[in-house]
């Protein structure tokens, strides 16, 4: 049994109890004081900030709505239909800007003013054109020849879930996993974050992959492309119309003031439509995550999916060890060091992480429902396959293949940390 130490004179300000102390770890009280000691993350976009706000307001309602239904899959909702209509209008406006600009250039070559307007419209149409995700410069697809068992496992999982097989796999240094459609050919790419997968059992790794395949099965990628490009267009229009903040002006002339506020008013139009789209899509996006969980549980079992979610708790542990090795320039194996750190972690710290995961505010990122709700729904459904989709030997060999990438990923994640460190 683990011996609990108590810091001399350290008393909880909320309940006046003595606070247990473990050197190097957060000191927290059983009443909840100082339990969530991690610094709040800065939202990196207006979209993430809005998702956080909506999640706090509507997250529980979406969960209760799903719990009350025997089946998670529901028909096309009014909000989803309206979102597609709004996105279609945005795309039609973009096309109209392009056609009008082309018309002014071709049929009004004798009017300098109209030709200039045509060029401006074409420029706006070009800036707001639909964009497709592309591979970053540092991202490289692995080959089937080098990772035969990984591809075999992924292909068998796709067949078991009755979805089209993926076109490629990327192994990167993110503490996450994701699926995306790349390029105009819409190639399906699975991204495997080795830092996360290195902490998981093979069945848990498969559960995460199954969740990503669940999004493919739901058609989430197709919807996100059509509406996502409309959202990007609205953001572009807002940036083009929105004037420089007024406090950045040294001085403003008499005639500049009404122009400034007129442009600010125009910029509110695309931004308001942007907000409307996000509001319309929020509930559907949350349901998509729950539905992807259900699909994954049916393929690999709900218990493995739950235990895989719990491994996300160790993200801070991983990055603290990255910082330690980067600063000290230690030659230790990063992944072995993280495993050892988790192994010697006091039970009280593990309990803190477990309690954090059960908070309604705890989620994998701003777009996901609270992990607590996801686990509750999985335990209610208790979905599990009748037989294993992939053999244990294949999973064991898949894990070995992933292990061959540890040196490369360790170099990348430490180099990235040092780069960021040198910027400040």
3-state secondary structure 41-103: CCCCCHHHHHHHHHHHHHHHHHHHHHHCCCCCCCCCCHHHHHHHHHHHHHHHHHHHHHHHHHH
Exposed (0-12), middle (13-18) or buried (19+): which is 90, by Cβ within 10 Å?
buried
- In this predicted model, what pLDDT tens digit does every residue of 131-176 receive, in sequence order? 777 888 878 899 999 999 999 999 999 999 999 999 999 999 999 9
Residues 279, 158 share a domain: yes
Rounded to 10 degrees, the C-alpha dihedral 269/273/275/280 comes to 160
Intervals of the chain under pLDDT 50: 1, 39-43
Q: What is the dihedral of CA 99, 102, 107, 111, to 10 degrees?
A: 120
Tokens of 322: 């990255």
Token pair listed for 64: 């209760």
256 and 144, same domain (yes or no): yes
Nearest-angstrom CA–CA distance, 288 and 374: 12
- Reduced to 3 states (helix: H, G, I; strand: E, B; else coil), residue 187 is strand
Considering the domain architecture, whether residues 8 and 54 belong to the same structural domain is answered as: no
Q: What is the pLDDT of residue 42?
A: 41
SS (H, E, C) 262-312: HHHHHHHHHHHHHHHHHHHHHHHHHHHHHHHHHHHHHHHCHHHHHHHHHHH
Q: What pLDDT was estimated at residue 352?
A: 86
Question: Can you give the pLDDT at residue 46?
Answer: 61
How far apart, in whole angstroms, are the C-alpha atoms of residue 178 and residue 370? Answer: 18
Q: Are 309 and 290 members of one domain? A: yes
As a whole number of angstroms, the distance between CA 72 and CA 34 comes to 37
Q: Is residue 329 part of a domain?
A: no
For residue 26, the enclosing domain spans 1-37
148 and 195 part of one domain: yes
Spatial separation of the C-alpha atoms in residues 226 and 345, rounded to whole Å: 46
Does residue 19 sit in the same domain as residue 136? no
Contacts of 70 (CB under 8 A, 6+ apart): none
Domain identity same for 3 and 65: no
Those residues whose C-beta lies under 8 Å from the C-beta of residue 117, and which sit 6 or more positions away, are: 101, 104
pTM of this prediction?
A: 0.82
Query: Which are the contacts of 314, defined by CB distance < 8 A and separation ≥ 6?
Result: 199, 338, 342, 353
Do residue 17 and residue 149 come from a single domain?
Answer: no
Q: Is residue 221 part of a domain?
A: yes
Q: Are residues 31 and 139 in the same domain?
A: no
Q: For residue 215, how many C-alpha atoms fall within 13 Å in the half-sphere facing its CB?
A: 24
Same domain (yes/no): 204, 309: yes
Say yes or no: 30 and 162 in one domain: no
- Asked if the structure places residue 8 within a domain, the reply is yes
Give first-to-last CA distance, the chain, whole Å. Answer: 44
SS3 of the chain: helix, strand, coil, percent, to 5: 60, 5, 30
Residue 230 lies in a domain: yes
Q: d(Cα 117, Cα 38) in Å, to the nearest integer? A: 52
Q: Is the dihedral of CA 55, 64, 277, 226 positive or negative?
A: positive
Strands, DSSP E only, in 173-279? 177-182, 187-193
In-domain check, residue 242: yes
Q: Would residue 372 count as lying in a domain?
A: yes
> What separation in angstroms does the CA of 45 have from each of 2, 41, 59, 181, 366?
43, 12, 20, 22, 11
Residue with tokens 């406006």: 93
Residue 400 lies in a domain: yes
pLDDT of residue 364: 59
Is 182 in the same domain as 200?
Answer: yes
Q: Which two tokens stand for residue 182?
A: 């790349």
Q: Is residue 340 part of a domain?
A: no
> pLDDT, tens digit, for every residue of 365-398?
667 788 888 998 899 888 888 777 788 899 999 9
Give me the pLDDT at residue 362, please: 62
State the total domains in the chain.
2
């Amino acid at each position: 049994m683990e011996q609990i130490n108590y810091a001399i004179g350290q008393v909880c300000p909320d309940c006046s109890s003595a606070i247990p102390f473990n050197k190097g770890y957060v000191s927290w009280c059983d009443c909840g004081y100082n339990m969530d000691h991690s610094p709040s993350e800065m939202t990196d976009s207006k979209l993430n900030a809005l998702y956080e706000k909506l999640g706090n307001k509507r997250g529980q309602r979406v969960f209760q709505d799903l719990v009350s239904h025997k089946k998670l899959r529901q028909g096309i909702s009014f909000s989803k239909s309206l979102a597609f209509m709004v996105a279609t209008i945005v795309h039609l406006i973009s096309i109209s800007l392009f056609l009008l600009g082309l018309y002014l250039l071709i049929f009004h070559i004798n009017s300098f003013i109209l030709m200039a307007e045509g060029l401006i419209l074409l420029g706006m149409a070009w800036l707001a054109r639909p964009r497709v995700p592309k591979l970053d410069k540092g991202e490289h697809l692995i080959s089937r020849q080098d990772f035969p068992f990984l591809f075999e496992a992924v292909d068998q999982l796709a067949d078991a879930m009755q979805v089209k097989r993926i076109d490629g796999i990327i192994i990167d240094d993110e503490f996450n996993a994701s699926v995306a459609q790349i390029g105009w050919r819409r190639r399906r790419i699975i991204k495997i974050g080795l830092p996360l997968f290195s902490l998981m059992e093979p069945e848990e790794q498969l559960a995460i992959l199954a969740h990503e395949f669940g999004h493919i099965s739901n058609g989430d990628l197709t919807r996100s492309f059509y509406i996502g490009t409309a959202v990007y267009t609205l953001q572009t229009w807002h940036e083009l119309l929105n004037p420089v903040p007024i406090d950045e002006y040294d001085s403003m002339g008499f005639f500049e003031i009404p122009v400034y506020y007129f442009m600010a008013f125009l910029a509110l139009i695309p931004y308001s439509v942007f907000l409307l789209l996000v509001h319309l899509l929020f509930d559907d996006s949350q349901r998509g995550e729950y539905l992807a969980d259900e699909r994954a549980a049916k393929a690999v079992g709900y218990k493995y999916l739950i235990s895989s979610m719990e491994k996300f708790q160790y993200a801070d542990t991983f990055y603290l060890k990255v910082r330690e090795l980067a600063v000290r320039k230690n030659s230790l194996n990063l992944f072995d060091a993280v495993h050892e750190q988790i192994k010697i972690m006091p039970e009280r710290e593990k309990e803190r992480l477990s309690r954090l995961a059960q908070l309604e505010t705890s989620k994998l990122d701003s777009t996901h429902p609270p992990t607590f709700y996801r686990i509750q729904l999985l335990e209610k459904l208790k979905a599990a396959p009748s037989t294993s989709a992939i053999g244990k030997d294949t999973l064991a060999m898949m894990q070995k293949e992933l292990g061959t990438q540890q040196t490369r990923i360790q170099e990348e994640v430490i180099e990235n940390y040092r780069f960021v460190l040198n910027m400040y």
